Structure 1
Amino acid sequence: MSGSGTAVPGLLALTGQVTARYGGASRYARNFVRGKLLTDPATPAILRLAREARGFGVVADLGCGRGQVGLALLTAGLAQAVHGLDLDPGKIADARRASTGLPADFAVADLGRAAVPECDTALIFDVLLQMPEAAQRGLIARMAAAARRRIVIRAFDPDCGWRAGLGRTMEEAGRRLRRDGSAFRPLPLAELAAPLRVAGFRTSVTPCWGWTPLPNVMLLAEREPT
């Protein structure tokens, strides 16, 4: 995995298969799903990681949005089942329609207090930094208790030099435009990783900014073999 966002073979065809499942959603939603799968550096990173792991097993996708990452994993044969949670009812409705016939379920949930489904792999992208620090720590603890094999976090590295400075500026501008009251509290990576190591995971961090100027990284936590 690298910061270059190198393409995964077959990504275009996989994106077409997944996007076709959103035929009942709005044009905006369909374009969003297609764009995220094709251009977000997290997509090739997570698919590559899942292939290296020979599949993610049962996946809990926290802050799943419209569910496109989980459905891509299922369609590619890289997950056995997906449980998705997100606060937005409209996005969850899109995910439920798109997942018809697949071993997936999606529910509206506040990650600040929701239980994390038992799983082999827990995924969370770009959500923690929008939560108060205490809520982040609580969610990390619940993820560590629920995930049997690994946790994958796409995180904002607040110590990543000029990328962090630019990312903060962009995030603050976005918050002013959205006026959604979301927090912006990116914890240092060491603070995200520490409770995972205490819970028995080994951790590693790799860049995941691809073509963007953002300080996004993948924090991978894997349980030590028993």
Structure 2
Amino acid sequence: MSTLLDEALALYARLPAAERFHVHARASSAPLLAVVERMLAGGTVADIGCGHGLLSALLALSDPGRVVHAVDPDPRKVGWAREALAGLPQVKLAEGTLEDVLAPALPGTCEAAVVCDVLYLLPEEKWPGFLRTARGLLRPGGRLLLKEVEGDGSWKHRKALAQEWVMVSLLGRTKASGGMVLKPRSAMRALLEDAGFTVREVVDLGRGYTTPHVLYVAEASVP
């Protein structure tokens, strides 16, 4: 495990065991460091759907000049994130959604936005509007890092859906609003382009994981 990830996980040491377990499970099951490595230096970053705030912590710890505005609709997770990240003043946590909190507060001001395992939890018909709203946060040429699970029909795809059903429907650990859809890369690229992005890189991050992780690195197209 990397020094950066160790440092971030140490922030959660005082949380209850169930919350620590959730954060550590997230750290071991998702390629968060690969997302951080492709983030632009410094500036203002929006972390949309931050959960317990682990990715926000990694973004802040890896670059002290970076300000992270993190939002999540789950008040319980935001509360735990605030407790864990109290020593990172450059992380600004808020309860709510992209549309209600970040879009009114940060129009056209962010160098980057990150959406990590969030889109599939939304109803599919809301995806285009969500991506356009995320684009509205960015300066011209600003970067979107979208990490999703690929809908490739593999056993990893089916396992990911089953796992999320347990987390959302059985255990209630993750909030969803009617989504649970996974799409192939070609469909995701088309959605991003339709929302006003230029896709610069599509990164396969599934190796070494039992989930088909894919990262889309896109830039806000200049009108």
- TM-score calculated relative to the size of structure 1: 0.78
Name the residue aligned to 1:106.
93
Quick one: distance in 2 between partners of 1:224 and 1:197?
A: 9
Name the residue aligned to 1:40.
29
- Contact 2:29–2:209 under 8 Å retained in 1: no
Quick one: distance in 2 between partners of 1:108 and 1:94?
A: 12
Are 2:199 and 1:213 equivalent residues in the alignment? no
Structure 1 residue corresponding to 2:157, chosen from 132, 150, 164: 164
With over 3 angstroms needed to count, the CA separation of the structure-2 counterparts of 1:200 and 1:95, relative to structure 1, is same
**Deviation of residue 175 (structure 1)?**
4.5
**Deviation of residue 22 (structure 1)?**
2.9
Quick one: distance in 2 between partners of 1:79 and 1:132?
A: 35
Name the residue aligned to 2:45.
59
Quick one: distance in 2 between partners of 1:121 and 1:40?
A: 24
Are 2:201 and 1:204 equivalent residues in the alignment? yes
Q: Which amino acid aligns with 2:181?
A: R
What are the residue-to-residue correspondences of 1:1-226 with 2, within 5 Å?
11=2, 13-37=3-27, 39-50=28-39, 53=40, 55=41, 57-77=43-63, 80-101=66-87, 102-111=89-98, 114-116=101-103, 117=106, 118-148=109-139, 149-172=142-165, 174-178=167-171, 182-198=178-194, 199-223=196-220
With over 3 angstroms needed to count, the CA separation of the structure-2 counterparts of 1:174 and 1:33, relative to structure 1, is closer
With over 3 angstroms needed to count, the CA separation of the structure-2 counterparts of 1:88 and 1:173, relative to structure 1, is closer
With over 3 angstroms needed to count, the CA separation of the structure-2 counterparts of 1:193 and 1:144, relative to structure 1, is farther
Structure 1: tracts of 5 or more residues without a match: 1-6
**Deviation of residue 187 (structure 1)?**
3.8
Name the residue aligned to 1:4.
none
Aligned-residue CA RMSD (Å): 2.9
**Deviation of residue 106 (structure 1)?**
0.7
Name the residue aligned to 1:3.
none
With over 3 angstroms needed to count, the CA separation of the structure-2 counterparts of 1:188 and 1:26, relative to structure 1, is same
Q: Which amino acid aligns with 2:219?
A: E
**Secondary structure of 2:38's partner?**
helix
- TM-score calculated relative to the size of structure 2: 0.79
| Count of residues paired in the alignment | 212
